[in-house]
Amino acid sequence: MKLRRFSGLSFRNLRARFQRTLLTAVGIVLGVGIVFGVLTLSTTMSGTFEELFTRAYGSADLTVTAAGGSGGFGRKAVEEVRGYEGVESAAPRYSLSSSLILDKVQKNGLPEVRSMRLFGIEPQSAELATGFELTDGHFPRSGNELTLDGGSAKNAGLKIGDTVTVGTPEGPKKLKLVGLLRIPGGSFGGLAFGMAPLPFAQNAFDKQGQISGIAVEAADGVSVSDLGQRLDRELGEGLQAERSEKRTQEISGQLQGFKIALLFFAGTSLFVGAFLVFNALSMTILERTRELGMLRALGSTRAMIARSVIVEAILLGVIGSLLGVLFGYGMARGLVYLFGRAFLFEITDLVLSPFALVSAIVVGIVVTVVAALYPAMKAGRVSPVEAMRARSAGAAAETGHSRGPSLLAPVLGLALAGAGIPWIYYLARNLSSSLDGLIYASGIAAIIAAFLGISLIIPVLVRPLAALFSPVLRLLLGLEGRMAAANATRNRARTALTAAALMVGISLVVAFSALGGSLLGSIQDYLDGSLGSDYVVQPTQQNSDAGFSATLPEKVSRVRGFEKATSIVSTFRQDGKKVDAVFGVDQNYPEIFRVDYAAGGSDAFSKLKNGDALVGKQLAKDRGLGMGSRIELLGPKGKKKYRVEGILENDIVGGGMGIYLSKEILASDFNETQSEFLAIKARPGSDREALARRIEAVLEDYPQFTLYSNAEWKAQIESDFNRQYVFFYAIMGVSVAVSAFGVVNTLSMSVFERTREIGILRAVGTTRLQIGRLIIDEGIVISLIGCLIGVALGSLLGYLFVQGSGAGGFEIDFYYPKLPALAALLSGLFIGIFAGLLPARSAARKGIVEAVQYE
Amino acid sequence: MENGAGIAVETVGLEKIYGEGSTAVRALEDVSLAFPNGEFAAIMGPSGSGKSTLLHILGALDKPTSGRVVIGGTELSGLSDKKLTLLRRERMGFVFQFFNLIPTLSAEENVLLPVLIAGKKPDKYGERLDELLDLVKLTGRRTHRPDELSGGEQQRVAIARALIKFPDIILADEPTGNLDSKTGAEVLGLLEESAARFEQTILMVTHDPRAAATAGRAIFLSDGRVVDEAIDPDQDEILKRIRTLESDG
């Protein structure tokens, strides 16, 4: 293709510097890839949740529930609703946490268990009660009939006509499989989904006469929202009617914060990718100083030159972003898989949205172009006189930089970091419990300000840090090490930028692991030091919220060696936008969970019997609650008020935001009676192993529950943490990978710049190996600077996060992430070595004569 | 040539000072010169004599600290960078010591570069391109890249590039500096021929007495001042004058 326009030069430039282009593009490809991956994960998550919840709860026009959003209410409300004008049909249901108990026996001798959401329905209105389509057989009609989702049935090897065991608070029940359902995406997030006759559900779960929701279909020509408002008003205080999609939207709205955090982690990769683009383009311009001077001499205007650099950036951005989304599809698959593992919510189908596609590409191009603005401006400023200069561009560049960074940059950097870091602390300390979009955004802005600020300070730190490494390097790596350290300081701006890019990823990883490690450490500490129980009973499946009634604790309490136990009933009460976590506890609670009071004495607990409440410290602070204040909760009996008789200093269960009532109140006011958690204390001096065996014997009837010793429980919590961390590390690791490519880029620039010098070194007898090591050592110096600063900043951020998060109710002690920090420093070493390999090879291979003659 | 005055380039009292205060270096001092249309002038002088600085200012690449430069009747002082750029684009051609070809472009694309920079259609210059390639004897190598050409060929491409847009003035900075003597002579012959054929003014900075001998006038600079001048000089004459200059200095 013949060059037809001046702008065509940009294409040629990219093509001519293919390797550089590729290396630069890698940053964009990975950055756009992970952003696209996260956006796709987000849409997939929302899409899957919405679809499932719409099907499960809201394919009908309206949904009637107990006020506050959950809990049982009387079946008779159905007839009342059916009697309303404008109501075409109404279907009652009871949504329950249950489990599927398979015949397959595992290694530990217990049957395999699957978590299951079970809907009790009435046969004549089964179709309306949930939105799932029947593919085979029929809906449950009477007795012990069950309809199951096709995926789970297939997975468990069940056919219509088979007998299925279902776990209930009263022990396992046998049901007959009579029909199969189709679930979009093949699975209800990894949960089984079943439907059984309402009377069966009510009896097996001890909810006689109750339902938890009514699906309502409006008659033709009736305004759904008018009908909804009328029902909401007229059904009484204890019931609420909402458009079904509103409930679904609320559920996906709750994912917002999570999504923003993910996007932030992914965005840092692009941010780091921008560093790469900036560096590479700046270098290209230095290399081409004479050429640019010639173009200026020949009559190109400054704007034309600047534009040609921008065009180059746009091309780079377009190519990188397009490859990025291709690559991002793979990343999205990986993320969805990791998400499923981390949060026990399986997603099988990716939702590809045009929005994610377009925004990832646009963001990729914009970031590339923004990173190119300054280099483009510099390119325009090249004097036409440069065309006549004999010196090589690299030499000119170095003398240009030897003046060092101006004072302005570090001062600005200090100001940015000085503003950003305290703001992060303030946010974490005061607002971590009520994160909304704006606060989140300002927190992210503060972190970015801190990153930018530190990046601006790094050039000043390069020389002292390199000087610090220098004797160590000399000791470890000989003369090359010392020379490499000196080389790294020759273009401080570039070294600093490369190191800064690495710092971003490393500090995020360290900060995040500091937060996680501290949280985990504190929880384990609490379990070791303060928990008064020896064993806990929890659902076998981690994604299960199956509950038990009073029967199970009662059976356990009769076991020899048992001293006492406490169980917790929980419910969420919603009132407008406000959602409260409410816990029903008994008198044994304070004897097993150590309770410290911020207000109210030790007798506060006994006042729960009278219908009073205890609240977490953070909740009290947020709502301005004090002793004697009243809190209001919505339930099937309408609005109920409770007097605050104590404020918990250490609200471990509710994370500072919990409301504690007596179990009796939860049963009477909210119809909530099932517990999910049982903590058991052994009688002092009893045989623990024998006790555990006896409890396990009781649990044989409840395979959906498992007994954990404190040590097992601790290990379980740790493995949960680790699983979730893998997911986050995967996202953050991308930015570290991008910055590693930045090190490669910088080193190849160094090699290019010093071609002549390398030739001279070779001419005076330096071996190829020594030249190669010189380059690799420089890589180590650069990446160690980045990692060292990253670990320092990450530790600080982590400390701030921990201080902030601990403010609410559960005080978190700061556990320094020793292993992650050490790993980060080691990775600095490895990144330096691996990034140096190729450039070192090309440096070592330069012909001596050619290099010495090089202009 | 629309220049009625007959003077292509004129300078009056040029002065150029680099740096400030005690580190200031006076590169040019009171340089007043006039180059008539069609003249082929060589500017000579030892390193640091200011000859490159003078060429930069004559080529509107750099601005003098004081004094005036008039090119084709246009006074340069006070012109914006953009105006200067357009002036270079429309009226000047440059030949550099290091050829300065773009390595990613073929010979003919390099020649057409000024046309592309001016935003004109390369097709309109097809005939001119053929003529110039013929002149510089590169018709057979038009699609070759610079790295496939010898030094002499590269400089011939650069000369064709300087001529493509019919400039009034050609500025050459050590055009033979990187060439052997035979190739250097060829390149100079080309410059001379084109100046005669297209009535162009050529201003050339050189170290090389043989190169300067091709020119119609040689101007000698020392310590930023014009110290001597020779009309139609031959090589011996130039060598003699250089020796005198050196013994003075």
Q: Specify which residues B230 forms β-bridges with.
A: B218
Do A260 and A211 share a structural domain? no
Residue A849 has pLDDT above 80, yes or no: no
Cβ atoms of A201 and A94 within 8 Å: the answer is yes
> Residue A668 has which token pair?
């009477």
A20-24, B34-38, B65-69, B138-142: least confidently modelled range:
A20-24
Do A606 and A697 share a structural domain? yes
Neighbours of A682 (CB within 10 A): 20
- Whether A245 maps to a domain, the answer reads no
CA dihedral A262, A263, A266, A269 (to 10 degrees): -140
Decide which of A645, A676, A701 is a domain's last residue: A701
Residue in A closest to B96 by C-alpha: A388
Residue A390: its chain B contacts at CB < 8 A?
97-98
Query: Do A13 and B104 lie within an 8 Å CB cutoff?
Result: yes
**Helix, strand, coil share (%) of chain A residues, nearest 5:** 60, 20, 20
Residue recorded with tokens 């898989």: A337
Residues 5-64 of A with CB under 8 A from B: 5-6, 8-9, 12-13, 15-16
Query: Do A388 and B56 lie within an 8 Å CB cutoff?
Result: yes
Task: Flag whether residue A2 sits within 8 Å of chain B, measured between CB atoms.
Answer: yes
Q: Using one digit for the tens of pLDDT, what is the confidence trace for B160-219? A: 999 898 898 999 988 888 888 888 888 888 888 877 888 889 999 998 888 899 898 999
Q: What is the pLDDT of residue A727?
A: 87
Do A605 and A638 share a structural domain? yes
Residue A391 has pLDDT above 80, yes or no: no
Do A168 and A54 share a structural domain? no
Average pLDDT over residues A123-128: 86
Do A344 and A309 share a structural domain? yes
Rounded Cα distance, A603 and A366, in Å: 62
Q: What is the pLDDT of residue A129?
A: 84
Query: Do A16 and B105 lie within an 8 Å CB cutoff?
Result: no
Residue B52: its chain A contacts at CB < 8 A?
388
Query: Do B94 and A298 lie within an 8 Å CB cutoff?
Result: yes
Q: Using one digit for the tens of pLDDT, what is the confidence trace for A707-723? A: 999 888 888 888 888 88
Residue in B closest to A298 by C-alpha: B89
- Whether A779 maps to a domain, the answer reads yes
Residue B81: its chain A contacts at CB < 8 A?
301-302
Query: Do B118 and A2 lie within an 8 Å CB cutoff?
Result: no
Task: Flag whether residue A311 sits within 8 Å of chain B, measured between CB atoms.
Answer: no
Q: Using one digit for the tens of pLDDT, what is the confidence trace for A738-753? A: 888 888 888 888 887 7
Residue in B closest to A291 by C-alpha: B100
Query: Do B96 and A387 lie within an 8 Å CB cutoff?
Result: yes
Nearest to A302 among B81, B104, B109 (CB): B81
Interface of B with A (CB under 8 A): 52, 55-56, 59, 61-62, 81-82, 85-86, 88-90, 92, 94, 96-98, 100, 102-105, 109, 112-114, 116-119, 122, 161, 173
Rounded Cα distance, B177 and B187, in Å: 11
Average pLDDT over residues A364-393: 84
Decide which of A219, A247, A278 is a domain's last residue: A219
> Residue A671 has which token pair?
């119809």
Average pLDDT over residues A814-842: 88
Do A750 and A618 share a structural domain? no
Query: Do B117 and A383 lie within an 8 Å CB cutoff?
Result: no
Q: Using one digit for the tens of pLDDT, what is the confidence trace for A189-219? A: 678 889 999 999 998 888 888 999 899 988 8
Nearest to A6 among B56, B97, B117 (CB): B117
Residue A13: its chain B contacts at CB < 8 A?
104
Please name which of A294, B54, B179, B111 lies closest in space to residue B188, comparing C-alpha atoms: B179
- Which residues, in sequence order, are CB contacts of B225 under 8 Å at separation 6+? B29, B30, B31, B50
Residue recorded with tokens 């410059």: B191
Do A419 and A367 share a structural domain? no
Question: What's the half-sphere exposure (Cβ side, CA atoms, 13 Å) at A347?
Answer: 27
Give the domain range for residue A468: 405-431+446-530+712-855
Q: Using one digit for the tens of pLDDT, what is the confidence trace for A206-259? A: 888 899 989 998 888 888 888 888 888 888 888 888 887 776 666 666 677 777
Rounded Cα distance, A149 and A145, in Å: 14
| CA distances in angstroms from A765 to A486, A751, A753, A758, A761, listed in the order given | 20, 18, 20, 11, 7
Domain count, chain A: 4
Residue in B closest to A386 by C-alpha: B61
- Whether A66 maps to a domain, the answer reads no
- Whether A224 maps to a domain, the answer reads no
- Which residues, in sequence order, are CB contacts of A744 under 8 Å at separation 6+? A23, A835, A836, A838, A839
The residue ranking higher by pLDDT, A480 or A445, is A445
Residue A524 has pLDDT above 90, yes or no: no
Residue A295: its chain B contacts at CB < 8 A?
113, 117
Residue in B closest to A296 by C-alpha: B85
> Residue A695 has which token pair?
């409890």
* A58: confidence class by pLDDT, cuts 50, 70, 90: low
- Whether A490 maps to a domain, the answer reads yes
Cβ atoms of B237 and B40 within 8 Å: the answer is no
Structural domains of chain B ordered from first start:
7-248 (3.40.50.300)
Q: What is the pLDDT of residue A437?
A: 61
Do A796 and A733 share a structural domain? yes
- Whether A235 maps to a domain, the answer reads no
* A392: confidence class by pLDDT, cuts 50, 70, 90: very low
- Whether A453 maps to a domain, the answer reads yes
- What 3-state DSSP class applies to A685? coil
Decide which of A668, A701, A734 is a domain's last residue: A701
Question: Which helix or strand (DSSP H or E) is residue A354 part of?
Answer: helix A354-381
Residue B4 has pLDDT above 50, yes or no: no
Query: Do B97 and A390 lie within an 8 Å CB cutoff?
Result: yes
- Whether A536 maps to a domain, the answer reads no
Rounded Cα distance, A606 and A623, in Å: 24
Q: What is the pLDDT of residue A137?
A: 92
Please state, for a pLDDT cut of 70, what percent of chain A lies above it: 92
Query: Do A388 and B119 lie within an 8 Å CB cutoff?
Result: no
Average pLDDT over residues A444-458: 84
Query: Do A855 and B122 lie within an 8 Å CB cutoff?
Result: no
Rounded Cα distance, A709 and A828, in Å: 40
Nearest to A290 among B81, B89, B100 (CB): B100
Looking at residue A191, the DSSP 8-state letter turns out to be B
Residue A1: its chain B contacts at CB < 8 A?
none
Cβ atoms of B84 and B59 within 8 Å: the answer is no
Question: What's the half-sphere exposure (Cβ side, CA atoms, 13 Å) at A805?
Answer: 21
Q: What is the pLDDT of residue A854?
A: 57
Query: What's chain A's average pLDDT?
Result: 84
Do A687 and A564 share a structural domain? yes
Q: What is the pLDDT of residue B69?
A: 94
Interface-testing mutation among A3, A381, A391, with chain B (most B C-beta atoms within 10 A)? A3
Residue A592 has pLDDT above 80, yes or no: yes
Residue A15: its chain B contacts at CB < 8 A?
104
Q: Specify which residues B74 forms β-bridges with.
A: B71
Dihedral sign from CA coordinates of A619, A622, A628, A633 = negative
Q: What is the pLDDT of residue A853?
A: 63
Query: Do A298 and B117 lie within an 8 Å CB cutoff?
Result: yes
Looking at residue A610, the DSSP 8-state letter turns out to be G
Do A513 and A494 share a structural domain? yes
Residue A297: its chain B contacts at CB < 8 A?
59, 61, 88, 94
Q: What is the pLDDT of residue A760?
A: 83
* A633: confidence class by pLDDT, cuts 50, 70, 90: very high
Do A565 and A617 share a structural domain? yes
Do A300 and A181 share a structural domain? no
Residue A8: its chain B contacts at CB < 8 A?
116
Residue A299: its chain B contacts at CB < 8 A?
85-86, 88-90, 92, 114, 117-118
